[in-house]
Amino acid sequence: MTKSTLFTAFAALAAAATLAVADENHETIEKVMKEGLKGDTSPMAKVLDGSASAEETKALAELVKTMNGTKAPKGEQSAYETKVTELIAAMDAVAGGDKGEAAIGRLEKAQNCKACHSEHKPK
């Protein structure tokens, strides 16, 4: 096998792996948004208005944690990671039993769709 053939094969393999990670990344983020955060009757809306059960709150916390390690679809990775980390921490605090005004306010701020979408959601 020549060096150029080997390089071409490696480049194709790397491109395929990158596409697979991007697809998985997109699916994870989309699942969290659709199943957990989107809409007036979403689990997040129920947590924020105090109508979610402890089980629903813990399930949402677990769903949100699946975003840990995902890559920013666009924009700065470090800014994206900061937002994801804060969302996970705020959700964990509420799921851990902190239903105080400060904890709910922190979660409400952390789950703000526009704050993340304006910097990281592709058009």
Q: What was the pLDDT predicted at 1?
A: 58
Please state the φ and ψ torsions of residue 97, each to the nearest 5 degrees: 115, -5
Q: Which two tokens stand for residue 88?
A: 């996970």
Q: What was the pLDDT predicted at 8?
A: 52
Q: From residue 49, how far is each of 28, 57, 100, 108 by CA, in Å?
A: 25, 12, 12, 10
Question: Where along the chain do its domains lie?
Answer: 29-120
Q: What was the pLDDT predicted at 16?
A: 42
pLDDT, tens digit, for every residue of 24-78?
A: 788 999 999 999 999 999 999 999 999 999 999 999 999 999 999 999 999 999 9
Return the percentage of the chain with pLDDT > 70, whole number: 82
- Residue 9 pLDDT > 50: no
Specify the residue for token string 């851990």: 96
Helix extents (H) in 1-123: 3-32, 43-49, 54-65, 77-95, 101-110, 113-120
